[in-house]
Structure 1
Amino acid sequence: MEESLHYLLMTDYLLFQKAFLAGVKETNLTPGQPKILDYLLYHDGVVQKEIASACHIEPATMTSVLYGMEKKGYILRKNLNGNRRSIYIYLTDEGRSLAKQVESTFRTMEEKTLKDFCKEEKEMLTAFLMRISKNIQGEVSDE
C-alpha cells in the first residue's frame, strides 16, 4: 500500500503542506491564504472568480477567505467602471510584503523537496505533475 500512487501523492502533499505551514507559522495565515497571496503577487488586480479558478477554491469559500484577508489588511477590493459585479482584488503593501515572504518559503520548500534531483528529473517531474493535473481536471469536468 505504501508504494501506491494515491498514497504517495497524498502523503507527499500532506508533508509538503505541513512543512510549508510551519515555515509561515508566524504570519498567522490560514491554509487557503498563502496560495492566494502567491497568485496575486503575479496577477494583481484580478476578479475573485479568476483567483478561485486558479487556486482551485470554491467561490463561496473564496469569498470568506478574501473577507478575512481584507480584514487583516492584506488585500483591497476595488469596483472599477461602476460595475458592482466586477470587483477587482489588489494586494496592499502589507499583503505584497507577506506574499513575497510566502513565495520565498515556497521556493525554500521546493529546493529542500527536490535537493537530490538533477535538472532533467525536475523537468520530468513538473511535466508528469502537469499531465496528472490535466487528466484529473478532465475527469472532473467530464462528470
Structure 2
Amino acid sequence: MDTSLHYLLMIVHSLFQKQVLGELSSLELTAGQPKILDYLGRHDGSVQKAIATGCQIDPATLTGLLNRMEQKGLIERKTKDGNRRSFHIYLTPLGWKRQEEVMSAFKKCEEKLLRDLSADRQEELIRTLSEFCGKMTDIEVLQ
C-alpha cells in the first residue's frame, strides 16, 4: 500500500464514508447527505452558501443534494425576515430523526477507529487533522 500522505488521506476518507453509508444503508441517504444533516444539526436555518462552505461542497452540487433531501422530507426551505432572495434551510422532524441516526453512525465508526489509540494519540490525531483543515481552508478549525 502507498504510504504517501495524499493517498492515505484519500483512502481514509473513502473507507470512512463507505462505513458510514453502510451503517445508514436502510435510510437511503446518498453521499454528501450525512454531512449536510450533521452540519444542519449544529447550524439549523443556515443559508445554502454557509452550508456549502461548512461542508466543503460545490454550490451547484449542494443544490441537487438539497433538492433530493427536500423531496424526501428531510429539509424545508424558508425565507427569513421577508428576504425572498435567500432561503434558509431547516431540518424537518424527519430530518432531525435522520440527523440523530447519522450522528450515531458517525460515533460508532469513530469509536471503532479510535478504540485502540490512547487518549493522547486520539488528541494528537484530531489536532493534526484540524491543523491540516486550517491550512487547506485558510481558517482556524479548532483551537
Does the pair score TM above 0.5? yes
Aligned alpha-carbon RMSD (Å): 1.1
Residue 26 of structure 1, CA deviation: 0.6
Q: Secondary structure at the match of 1:85?
A: strand
- The residue type paired with residue 94 of structure 1 is L
Residue in 2 that maps onto 1:133: 133
Following superposition, the deviation at residue 43 of structure 1 comes to: 1.0
Structure-1 separation of matches of 2:4 and 2:60:
34
| Percent of residue pairs identical | 49
Q: 1:33-72, aligned counterparts within 5 Å?
A: 33-72=33-72
Provide structure 2 residue ranges, at least 5 long, that are not aligned to the other structure.
139-143
Aligned match of 2:75: 75
Distance 1:100 1:136 in 2: 29
Q: Return the letter of the residue paired with 2:28.
A: N
* Corresponding residue of 1:93: 93
- Separation of aligned partners in 2, 1:61 and 1:3: 31
Q: 1:141 maps to which residue?
A: none
CA deviation after TM superposition for structure 1 residue 10, in Å: 1.5
Once the two structures are TM-superposed, the CA of residue 67 in structure 1 deviates from its matched residue by 0.7
Q: TM-score, normalised by structure 1?
A: 0.92
Partner SS state of residue 86, structure 1 = strand
- Runs of 4+ residues over 3 Å off in structure 1: none
| 1:7 Cα offset (Å) | 1.8
Partner of 2:122: 122
Shift of 1:137: 2.3
Report SS of the residue matched to 1:36: helix
Unaligned runs of 5+ in 1: 139-143
Deviation, 1:116, is 0.6
Deviations 1:74-101 (A, max 9, x none): 0010011221122111100000000000
